[in-house]
Amino acid sequence: MYMSIKEIIDAANQRQKPIYELAIEQEMEQTKASYEEIWSKMEKNLVTMENSINKSIEGDGVFSPTGLTGGDAVKIKKYRESGKTLSGDMMMFGVQSAIGVNEVNASLGVICATPTAGASGTIPGVLFTISDTLKLSHEDKVHFLFTSALFGMIVANNACIAGAFGGCQAEVGSASAMAAAAAVEAAGGTPQQSSEAFSTALQNLLGLVCDPVAGLVEIPCVKRNAIGAANALVAADLALAGVTNIINADEVVEAMYRVGRQMPRELRETGLGGVAATPTGIAIKSKIFGEKVLQPQ
């Protein structure tokens, strides 16, 4: 089993294999499942992602039972169609997709947790943004998911992917870094460039707190996936341009772990700090759960 990103990059270079092949090989070795079985499971993840993106823009969109979130993916789609986006249609499609998937999650729909439900929009947001530009085949898209998964495994085993443990940096931050690394490989970048993109993306979101209003995966979670997707695309472009990092990917993962441990419990998914502790956030919680919650001093 690969225990570091450096080991993955070294193996890819030495064996002259793409990272997605290393991921499949490792999964076969660890699970004893066949290539076909492993491929089929990842294909199902891809289909689930695409279905959730499509679901999010049907009619007026999807809405959560609380009414706190929903319909924004449709608004973004209409905004894109105006041709007046400031960051470009491609970027805003990624934002639309990332938000859309999380709206489906909040509406109790079916999504693929990548690596968590709260961060489920970031990776598909990036994947389906670059698929047309790079003319990715169905197989290429599945490869993208295997590559992102192998990077994510390193984060999960050496740090954390849960907001309750390490803040949102562990969820959207990890997802953004995973997507950036996979996007580089999909674009024909080197294994080292994938590592550089990963490092950049995770550094950019280091310290991101997890502060869900009323403890629900809606505010600010849905919009944070938009930032995660955009951050991944920028980090991938930087790496493909040849921009490197002084701090390597494994050290950034270690730093993320330490930062997560240093965060107070109020900023780790408890809904007691950050925007969850604002007067509006507290009022929303009281309205939903019928609780009288004291304002923070």
**Is 224 in contact with 122 (CB distance < 8 Å)?**
no
Tell me the C-alpha distance between 182 and 144, whole Å: 5
Query: In this predicted model, what pLDDT tens digit does every residue of 171-195 receive, in sequence order?
Result: 999 999 999 999 999 999 999 999 9
As separate numbers, helices (DSSP H) first and strands (DSSP E) second, the chain gives 13, 0
Whole-structure pTM value: 0.96
Structural domains present in the chain: 5-209+217-251 (1.10.4100)
Residue 291 clears pLDDT 80, i.e. is over it: no
Query: In this predicted model, what pLDDT tens digit does every residue of 9-59 receive, in sequence order?
Result: 999 999 999 999 999 999 999 999 999 999 999 999 999 999 999 999 999
| CA-closest candidate to residue 153, choices 31, 66, 293, 277 | 31
